[in-house]
Structure 1
Amino acid sequence: MTDTAAAAPGLEVATAEGRVRGRVHGDLLSWRGIPYATPPVGALRLRAPQPMTPWTGVRGALDWGFAAPQPPYGAVIGPGRRQPIGEDCLTLNVLAPRRPSDSLRPVMVFIHGGGYLLGTSALSVYGGQKLVERGDVVYVSLNYRLGPLGYLDLTDFATPDRPIDSNLGLRDQVAALEWVQRNIEAFGGDPRNVTVFGESAGGNAVTTLFATPAAEGLFARGIAQSSDAGVAYGRERSAQWGREFVACLGADPSDAAAALDRASLREIGRAAGKFMKDSLIAAPGTLAYAPVVDDDYLPKHPVDAMADGSAHAVPLMIGTNSREGALFTRFLTDGLPLSESSIATMFSLTEPAALARVTSAYRDYPRRRAAVDLGGDALFWKPSTDCASGHSRFAPTYSYRYDFTTPSLTAIGFGATHAMELIPVFGLADTGMGRSMTPLGGRKALRALSERMQAHWLSFARGGEPLSSWPAYDEQHRKTMIFDATDRVECDPRGERRRAWEGYLGYR
């Protein structure tokens, strides 16, 4: 197949597994709900994703696939609209320009967030239309297993007759990237020019993929937005959480494998909610649904892999928002380190001697705002800064901080909080989401910021570098792009805080 032919797909596309038919959306072509692995149901529950059995005929790719099992509110995709939920959730979506191209287009693969408990690629904020229209790229989004069926280490309950695998959601993401390598050329995309990007848990997925040997060669670069990169834990902690979940399920440990097989999604969901609440209160700042450093599929903690050069040496763009923690003051208040008491508990369980050193770097601590900022930094900024520092020794690295806010966001106490950068990155300033942020003004500035951020993201996706106004990060100068109403570059922003956190490992 020539590049020209490959770059001008029709609605009907031949993949390695079978033919799929999409639909026209204005100047774009879309294919939704394409399976990238066999449905993980029945005997395949808690097993690594298996290759999809090829099909005959043409498969319609018109509707979103199932959202992974999760609390129902996590799959709400609009007013009165909820994505159907089911274990048959290993699907992805492709969006491509309708017009022909003389060459294969760059590919951007997005991994959604939601704490590895919630979320779906069908959420409108993840649509990708503006990136495709402006950047002339092929956009892929995917669903992957969540919660106890995707991110809980239950391997201690495996038996010779009932194997159980670890890191299932991570394996799903690798399987989706393998699908991209096999098939994206048929949709006009270049498999040699793939950028994987994600936000929150999706950002964690990116930093984790950098440390996953099975992902080698599957992407050319990565963008980690608000990655809680420290959220990956060793076998001992993860195995204990597995035992606690099985207890919440009401199963006898000697019969756990059979109990996990016969449990309904309702039963699993009920146990998952109770277990997560209990685990968060016991150890504020942990997320029990997380990658496990299992000495096999994920042999090393992602932060450590970036520090010692064993991570994939491809370009990385990484950053966080100025006030990550503010969003979480509206929920999860008992489980995140956002108050003096929960912060004290966090340090007592990790590194007690660091408490005084770190808190002294936050002006007005322990007042609420300072405590919330410290908690957000512990979860997102500190581990992301560690990733930038380590990776910059081995591959081009670009660091950012998102400071932009609007009068409305400031008035409600959010400011530049978690997930706010998704609006400009996806070009949504003039949508309902953008309008909801700007009833008191700021839409023009948000629109202009979106133009600049998309230009950087698309430049990086095309050639591995943002625009020239954004310098690379290194440990000597720590140059960081600050996105605001007027962008600027700062050297070692919030350096006092960074130095106070040095050496802190958090939960492992």
Structure 2
Amino acid sequence: MTTTEARDSAAEKLVVRTAAGAVRGRREDGLTVFRGIPFAEPPVGEARFGAPRPVRAWEGTREAYTFGPPPPQESAFMGRTGVLDVPEGDDWLTVNVWTPEADSASLRPVMVWIYGGAYKLGHSGSPGYDAQRMARDGDLVVVTLNYRVGIEGFARIDGAPANRGLLDQVAALEWVRDNIIAFGGDPGQVTVFGESAGAGSVASLLAMPSARGLFRRAIAQSVPGTYFSDELARDIARAIASQAGLSPTAADLATVDPRRLTAAGEAVGAKMRAYADRWGQVAPTATPFSPVVDGEVLPAPPWLAVAAGAARDVELLVGHNRDEFRLFLVMGGQLGKIGEEQAAWALRTFAPGGAEGELSYRAAFPEATPGELFERVQTDWLFGMPTLRLAEAQIAAGGRAHVYELTWPAPGSGGVLGACHALDVPLLFGTFEADLGLLLFAGSGVPAEAEELSARFRASWTAFARTGEPGWPAYGNEERLVQVLDAKPEVRPYPEEASRRLWEGYEFGELPLLK
């Protein structure tokens, strides 16, 4: 073969034909990477606030070199994620693919990442989600995707389907089913994985009829317990629309550019505590968006649907971080400043049983300071117990689940962050100098034990994607064995037994509108 023929042959390998048309990727450090491939039509104009529409075919070869534009979202986005090389435009609904050198031996397992961001922030092009180490270390195909967030994706408005952001995720998974073979991936070996709102999305997908059969395995990292009733979601949407001087209808909201409409959601999020008498536990969260239990797109809260067998055949891996809520205390400047009055408020607001729950927490943690109680109950309510309960629901339905807890403390910011929310993301992707990794590892460098733990994360996650076994026993209601991820990882009974017992028997469901 001549040099020219070899070059032409190598270039040809970078072109993949999808159902809608050909795309050309780039070779990057032993992988072929495709960015910004549309999986649905831009949701603007007549398609605004609608379910995702199939992408129209194109002629010729589309260069898949850059990430698609982020979906419209709050102004905090750019400062939080440090997006690079992102064009402007309306083509938000895109996927990105990292795939090893194709060979004829066999198709590779596929992992599909769903980002977090409180259902109001996020973009698959954020540097913290660079999947090269996942794909290379695991020898598998990794797909990341964009979905609509905030008002565009989750506001419950008249004239539009609920949970449009979740429907985007389903459309992306359908794209994977229909196209991933061309990238060397096995459509029968798909694992969805996500963190925070991404984990809440994964939990929702387990419960959604439209997502059935699109993935074989699921990984949910720090599942948030916030799912809205239809009544609550509509009331929040009315407040947001009113902020913009509009009615909560698709027709009315569509008269405002989506990038300008985000300001209304941001303004309501900043004053949610004023709605405490109507929105209850949601009001202190500053997050006016969550999946809506609308009875159609999402028929039931994930815990109920999973316990009833909706995902019995899906292999499940779930876990949370020990000090989830610490991140929000540090970022809000509250760490070390919580007094008795604030601790009492948090316990009565979030503990199961209200005033009785406060007494139970104080009895279970007699040595805890007000700040520790404030943090503990919100870690449990928001992430810890919803995550554990998802595993228990899967077991109740006759399925299997593996559980982990991350206890290794982030070294940045003087070591005060502990094993806080989102620490698992830079550890998993190995992106210590991007996004929140800049905070979590600031001033500390990357210690050797962080690299070791990062490699363990990827080895366990990719092993699970390949075999359904992450390297430790499945969780059971008797021994309750979990993988504790620390400098010296070990398998032992679930460490947060005191919290587990406090929440035993509590039913997680959709959050109501208070009458």
Is TM more than 0.5 here? yes
Cα 1:147–1:350 change in 2 (3 A) is farther
Q: How far has the Cα of 1:346 moved from its partner? A: 2.5
Q: How far has the Cα of 1:173 moved from its partner? A: 0.2
| One-letter identity of the residue aligned with 2:63 | G
Partner of 1:18: 21
Compare 129-138 and 76-85 and name the one that shifted more. Answer: 76-85
Partner of 2:452: 448
Secondary structure, in 3 states, of the residue corresponding to 2:242?
helix
| One-letter identity of the residue aligned with 2:234 | A
The answer on whether the counterparts of 2:82 and 2:126 sit within 8 Å (CA) in structure 1 is: no
Alignment of 1:469-488 (within 5 A): 470-488=472-490
Partner of 1:322: 322
Partner of 1:192: 188
Within the candidate set 167, 171, 180, 1:171 is matched to: 167
Distance 1:115 1:258 in 2: 26
Cα 1:291–1:361 change in 2 (3 A) is same
Within the candidate set 200, 203, 206, 1:207 is matched to: 203
Compare 62-71 and 302-311 and name the one that shifted more. Answer: 302-311
Secondary structure, in 3 states, of the residue corresponding to 2:187?
strand
Partner of 1:54: 57
Cα 1:124–1:442 change in 2 (3 A) is closer
Q: Deviations over 1:257-292 (max 9, x none)?
A: 432110123541221111222335532247431111
Distance 1:368 1:456 in 2: 34
Cα 1:117–1:362 change in 2 (3 A) is farther
Q: How far has the Cα of 1:216 moved from its partner? A: 0.6
Residues 1:381 and 2:384 are matched in the alignment: yes
Cα 1:100–1:152 change in 2 (3 A) is same
Alignment of 1:33-52 (within 5 A): 33-52=36-55
Residues 1:414 and 2:410 are matched in the alignment: no
The answer on whether the counterparts of 2:350 and 2:381 sit within 8 Å (CA) in structure 1 is: no
The answer on whether the counterparts of 1:69 and 1:86 sit within 8 Å (CA) in structure 2 is: no
Residues 1:292 and 2:292 are matched in the alignment: yes
Q: How far has the Cα of 1:134 moved from its partner? A: 1.1
Residues 1:181 and 2:174 are matched in the alignment: no
Secondary structure, in 3 states, of the residue corresponding to 2:317?
strand
Aligned-residue identity in percent: 37
Cα 1:264–1:408 change in 2 (3 A) is closer
Q: Deviations over 1:399-440 (max 9, x none)?
A: 00001125545x342011011112221134698948972755
Q: Deviations over 1:18-45 (max 9, x none)?
A: 1111111121111111010111001111
Runs of 5+ consecutive residues of structure 1 not aligned to the other structure: 1-7, 159-163
Within the candidate set 224, 229, 234, 2:229 is matched to: 234
| One-letter identity of the residue aligned with 1:502 | E
Equivalent pairs, count = 485
Q: How far has the Cα of 1:456 moved from its partner? A: 0.9
Q: How far has the Cα of 1:383 moved from its partner? A: 0.4
The answer on whether the counterparts of 1:248 and 1:275 sit within 8 Å (CA) in structure 2 is: yes
Distance 2:291 2:448 in 1: 40
Distance 2:45 2:294 in 1: 25
Secondary structure, in 3 states, of the residue corresponding to 1:392?
helix
Distance 1:69 1:232 in 2: 22
Cα 1:349–1:278 change in 2 (3 A) is farther
Q: Deviations over 1:86-116 (max 9, x none)?
A: 5431001001112525100010100111111
Partner of 1:397: 401
| One-letter identity of the residue aligned with 1:102 | A
The answer on whether the counterparts of 1:315 and 1:464 sit within 8 Å (CA) in structure 2 is: yes
The answer on whether the counterparts of 2:84 and 2:126 sit within 8 Å (CA) in structure 1 is: no
Q: Deviations over 1:15-70 (max 9, x none)?
A: 11111111111211111110101110011111110111111211111111010101
Within the candidate set 480, 495, 498, 1:496 is matched to: 498
Secondary structure, in 3 states, of the residue corresponding to 2:300?
coil
Q: How far has the Cα of 1:351 moved from its partner? A: 4.7
Distance 2:352 2:372 in 1: 23
Partner of 1:249: 244
Residues 1:260 and 2:263 are matched in the alignment: no
Q: How far has the Cα of 1:349 moved from its partner? A: 11
> TM-score scaled by structure 2?
0.88
Compare 304-313 and 293-302 and name the one that shifted more. Answer: 304-313
Cα 1:407–1:367 change in 2 (3 A) is same
Distance 2:264 2:434 in 1: 38
